[in-house]
């Protein structure tokens, strides 16, 4: 697996474009990180075909897509957010943005069919443990993919608008979140079966409607949660799960979280800073959720130990966090769940579907040893030189072909 990572990331080094720009959504900042960007990130939409966009994996915390906006085709690195309905981009009209170090700006003009609204919109992101701490994200903006947007005509958000204009064949999108730096994928208009584990079934779940909220999120009801001897059959209180692609953990309502925490502590987990860690050689039970599908058949979804923990210096950080059970939201299915299962969001049927993904925790690019990183740098440098050399060779070859063609055309005309 390490060799696989060395090869893949070495190739990515030939595609380095720029450092990620800090976008301060709330308060705290994250460290600088070089932006690896693949050439397939920037694509123009063709009529009635699935559109696949590679996502950049920022330390298993946030996933970014590269999009081009407006007649000028300005490129923005945007957070893929299933809980927001907005496409939010920095603009020069905002005074604060002029001093925030953005690499790209967008000005809303009628020539781009852009319409300004006067309502204020705020979105908070988490930077650490679920304790009310606000966040700062990397990137140039937010690509909202929630169920509805009441600010738009017909409650349409980004994907339904593409569908209504005939750019994608189906009114849906899907997410595959992996462990490598650039194997994750956003598919518009369908899903990629290659990202689904062989023989895995796809089960549909009808979302809960909430007409009172300004933007409807992808929320589904759960029937049961189980972790070893801890088991809780859910009633109508705190039984809802929101699907959140910007949440790096798996969130559980505080009272249930405390019961689960007793199990982890009994197994040897210790509080280090703001999170619990445990020896990676410890055998822990799978976490299981029971969810009724659209036909009222109960389906079980399991999250193995390797998915709900992250290895660091011989210890495994437990990626399950406590949340407040507001509006009966007892669970937040963040990236821990979404790496285990490919998620398919259907606007027409108002369903979220899950199928076991091919994601493998052994592919975690953040766990590479130092010697591997050094080797990646060396191989990457050689790859860059080889790419430059090949480019020069192709340029000279094409130039000679053009000169030969012009000579032949001149002789033929004569």
C-alpha pair distances (Å), 318 with each of 139, 226, 257, 270, 332: 26, 16, 12, 10, 15
Q: How far is residue 280's CA from residue 333's CA, in Å, rounded to a whole number?
A: 23
How many Cα atoms occupy the beta-carbon half-sphere of 179 within 13 Å?
Answer: 26
The answer for residues whose C-beta is within 8 angstroms of residue 249's C-beta and 6 or more apart is 130, 319, 320, 321, 332, 334, 335, 336
pLDDT of residue 294: 95
Alpha-carbon torsion angle 70, 36, 135, 352, nearest 10: 70
The answer, yes or no, to whether residue 353 has pLDDT greater than 90, is yes
Percentage of the chain beyond pLDDT 90 is 40
C-alpha pair distances (Å), 215 with each of 24, 225, 248, 345, 389: 23, 28, 22, 15, 51
The answer, yes or no, to whether residue 389 has pLDDT greater than 70, is no
H or E element, residue 64? strand 62-69
CA-nearest of 144, 188, 153, 166 to 43 is 188
H or E element, residue 260? helix 254-266
Of the listed ranges 9-13, 147-151, 370-374, 387-391, the one predicted with least confidence: 9-13
For residue 11, how many other CB atoms are within 10 A of its CB?
17
The answer, yes or no, to whether residue 351 has pLDDT greater than 80, is yes
Average pLDDT for the chain:
74
Among 24-38, 99-113, 202-216, top mean pLDDT goes to 202-216
Q: Mind listing the pLDDT tens digit for each residue in 228-274?
A: 999 999 988 889 999 999 999 999 999 999 999 999 999 999 998 88
Q: How far is residue 19's CA from residue 57's CA, in Å, rounded to a whole number?
A: 14
pLDDT of residue 106: 75
The answer, yes or no, to whether residue 173 has pLDDT greater than 70, is yes
Of the listed ranges 149-153, 164-168, 282-286, the one predicted with least confidence: 149-153
The answer, yes or no, to whether residue 331 has pLDDT greater than 70, is yes
The answer, yes or no, to whether residue 42 has pLDDT greater than 60, is no
Better-scored residue on pLDDT, 282 or 78: 282
For residue 332, what pLDDT band results from cuts at 50, 70 and 90? very high
Structure tokens at 65: 């897509």
pLDDT of residue 26: 25
Q: Mind listing the pLDDT tens digit for each residue in 6-34?
A: 333 232 322 223 222 222 222 222 232 22
pLDDT of residue 162: 87
Angle between helices 2-13 and 370-413 (to 10 degrees): 50
Structure tokens at 282: 């410890």
pLDDT of residue 399: 57
Structure tokens at 331: 């669970």
Q: How far is residue 241's CA from residue 234's CA, in Å, rounded to a whole number?
A: 12
Superfamily of domain covering 2-368:
Acid Proteases (2.40.70.10)
pLDDT of residue 293: 96
Q: Domain spans of the chain?
A: 2-368
Q: What is the 8-class DSSP label of residue 264? A: H
**Secondary structure string (H, E, C) spanning 120-176:** CCCCCCCCCCCCCCCCCEECCEEEECCCCCCCCHHHCCHHHHHHHCCCCCCCEEEEE
Rounded mean pLDDT, 269-283: 91
The answer, yes or no, to whether residue 288 has pLDDT greater than 50, is yes
The answer, yes or no, to whether residue 285 has pLDDT greater than 80, is yes
The answer, yes or no, to whether residue 318 has pLDDT greater than 60, is yes
Structure tokens at 53: 């966009």
Structure tokens at 231: 């088991």
Better-scored residue on pLDDT, 258 or 407: 258
The answer, yes or no, to whether residue 304 has pLDDT greater than 50, is yes
Buried b (16+ CB within 10 A) or exposed e, 13-23: bbbeeeebbbb
pLDDT of residue 408: 46
Better-scored residue on pLDDT, 326 or 52: 326
Buried b (16+ CB within 10 A) or exposed e, 255-282: ebbebbbeebeeeebeeeeebbbbebee
For residue 143, what pLDDT band results from cuts at 50, 70 and 90? confident
The answer, yes or no, to whether residue 312 has pLDDT greater than 50, is yes
Q: How far is residue 204's CA from residue 220's CA, in Å, rounded to a whole number?
A: 10
Better-scored residue on pLDDT, 313 or 220: 220
Percentage of the chain beyond pLDDT 70 is 61
CA-nearest of 58, 42, 43 to 245 is 58
The answer, yes or no, to whether residue 43 has pLDDT greater than 70, is no
Q: How far is residue 109's CA from residue 20's CA, in Å, rounded to a whole number?
A: 26
For residue 60, how many other CB atoms are within 10 A of its CB?
19
The answer, yes or no, to whether residue 358 has pLDDT greater than 90, is yes
């Amino acid at each position: 697996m390490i060799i696989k990572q060395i090869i893949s990331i070495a190739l990515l080094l030939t595609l380095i474009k720029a450092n990620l720009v800090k976008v301060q959504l709330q308060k705290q900042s994250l460290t600088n990180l070089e932006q690896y960007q693949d050439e397939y990130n920037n694509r123009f939409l063709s009529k009635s075909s699935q559109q696949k966009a590679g996502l950049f994996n920022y330390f298993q915390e946030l996933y970014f897509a590269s999009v081009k906006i407006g007649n000028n085709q300005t490129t923005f690195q945007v957070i893929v957010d299933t809980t927001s309905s907005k496409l939010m981009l920095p603009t020069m009209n905002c005074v604060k943005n002029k001093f925030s170090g953005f690499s790209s700006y967008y000005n809303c003009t009628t020539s781009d069919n852009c319409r300004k609204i006067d309502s204020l919109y705020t979105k908070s992101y988490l930077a650490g443990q679920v304790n009310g701490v606000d966040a700062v994200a990397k990137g140039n903006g937010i690509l909202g993919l929630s169920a509805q947007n009441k600010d738009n005509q017909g409650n349409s958000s980004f994907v339904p608008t593409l569908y209504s204009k005939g750019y994608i064949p189906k009114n849906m999108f899907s997410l595959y979140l992996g462990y490598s730096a650039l194997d994750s994928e956003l598919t518009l208009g369908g899903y990629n079966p290659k990202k689904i584990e062989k023989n895995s079934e796809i089960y549909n779940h009808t979302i809960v409607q909430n007409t009172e909220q300004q933007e409807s999120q992808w929320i589904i009801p759960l029937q049961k949660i189980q972790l070893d001897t801890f088991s809780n059959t859910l009633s109508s209180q705190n039984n809802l799960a929101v699907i959140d692609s910007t949440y790096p953990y798996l969130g559980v309502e505080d009272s249930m979280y405390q019961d689960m925490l007793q199990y982890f502590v009994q197994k040897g987990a210790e509080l280090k800073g703001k999170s619990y860690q445990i020896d990676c050689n410890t055998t822990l039970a799978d976490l299981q959720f029971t969810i009724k599908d659209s036909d009222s058949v109960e389906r079980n979804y399991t999250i193995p130990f390797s998915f709900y923990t992250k290895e660091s210096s011989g210890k495994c950080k437990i990626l399950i966090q406590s949340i407040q059970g507001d509006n009966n939201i007892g669970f937040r299915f963040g990236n821990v769940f979404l790496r285990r299962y490919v998620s398919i969001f259907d606007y027409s049927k108002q369903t979220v579907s899950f199928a076991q993904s091919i994601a493998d925790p052994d592919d975690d690019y953040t766990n590479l040893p130092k010697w591997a990183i050094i080797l990646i740098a060396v191989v990457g440098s050689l790859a860059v030189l080889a790419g430059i050399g090949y480019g020069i060779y192709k340029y000279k070859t094409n130039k000679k072909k053009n000169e030969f063609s012009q000579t032949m055309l001149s002789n033929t005309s004569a």
